[in-house]
Chain A
Amino acid sequence: MSQDAPRVGIVLVSHSVRLAEGTADLAGQVSGGTVRVLAAGGTEDGGLGTSAEKVARAVADAETGAGVLVLPDLGSAVLTVRAMLAEMGGLAEMGGPDEMGRLEDTPGARVVLADAPFVEGAVAATVTAAAGADLKAVATAAEEAWHARKL
């Protein structure tokens, strides 16, 4: 794996501008700053909520040729992400523990929505992307965060 090869980009979708930005900052620092981690938090006017337009812009900015992993903070953010991905027309692949197999069914999927704890998943995914892993490995690292104990 070349040091200069494109890295998987990460998009953090939160109901809160500050939660998305703070988590992106943390994940970027822990991983050494070589991965694009984009925050898509809050509504268009900065209030609590989610914005399909913000998510779409972040996904576009996060893509450098290796695909993009999207992580939602709460279940209701999933609705916004799904709507946005549907509009992008077949580029998307939904995640979730039972649906990861669908990645194989959609060759060329460039955006994966993963089901993971927000902070741990963001850090694990970004670190894995920084090591040069592919989109599936990055999504898997995020989802494995469910099993990581802190104590």
Chain B
Amino acid sequence: MPASSESITLTGDLHARPAGALAVTAGRFAATVSVTAGTKTADAKSVLGVMGLGATSGQVLTVSADGPDAAEAVSALIAIIGEATRVGG
């Protein structure tokens, strides 16, 4: 199974709506996807888990995926995180 990983520095806090956008997007992929902020890691498909990271602006968020569409999942999530955290909420 191919694995993929990429990091992004948050430009805004990971509030409810960006966390929701992240989890909705992650849920569309077959790969298992996780997000790590500091010492905490969450299942990217679990919106409550993603919100529980308490990730804030300036923190580095790492997206890791494992599965047939891992690379696509990681690039989609990195794009969503960059976009959604600018909107806030």
- Residues of A participating in the B interface, judged by any CB pair closer than 8 Å: 1, 26, 29-32, 120, 123-124, 127-128, 130-133, 141, 144-145, 148-150
Contact = CB atoms under 8 A, between A and B. Distances in A.
Contacts of A150: 51-52
Interface of B: 16-17, 19-21, 23-28, 45-49, 51-52, 89
A30 B89 CA distance: 9
B45 A123 contact: no
A82 B65 CA distance: 41
Given A30-B16, A30-B17, A30-B19, A127 B49 contact: no
B45 to A, nearest CB: 7
A124 B47 contact: yes
Given A127-B23, A132-B28, A148 B46 contact: yes
Given A30-B16, A30-B17, A31-B20, A131 B27 contact: yes
Nearest to A27: B20
A131 B48 contact: no
A144 B46 contact: yes
A32 B24 contact: yes
Nearest to B47: A127
Given A30-B19, A30-B20, A32-B21, A128 B27 contact: yes
A143 to B, nearest CB: 12
Contacts of B46: 124, 141, 144, 148
B28 A148 contact: no
Nearest to A132: B28
30 contacts: A1-B28, A29-B16, A29-B89, A30-B16, A30-B17, A30-B47, A31-B24, A31-B47, A32-B24, A123-B16, A123-B20, A123-B47, A127-B20, A127-B23, A127-B27, A128-B27, A128-B47, A130-B20, A130-B27, A131-B23, A131-B25, A131-B28, A131-B45, A132-B27, A144-B48, A145-B48, A148-B46, A148-B52, A149-B52, A150-B52
A123 B49 CA distance: 12
Nearest to B49: A148
A29 B27 contact: no
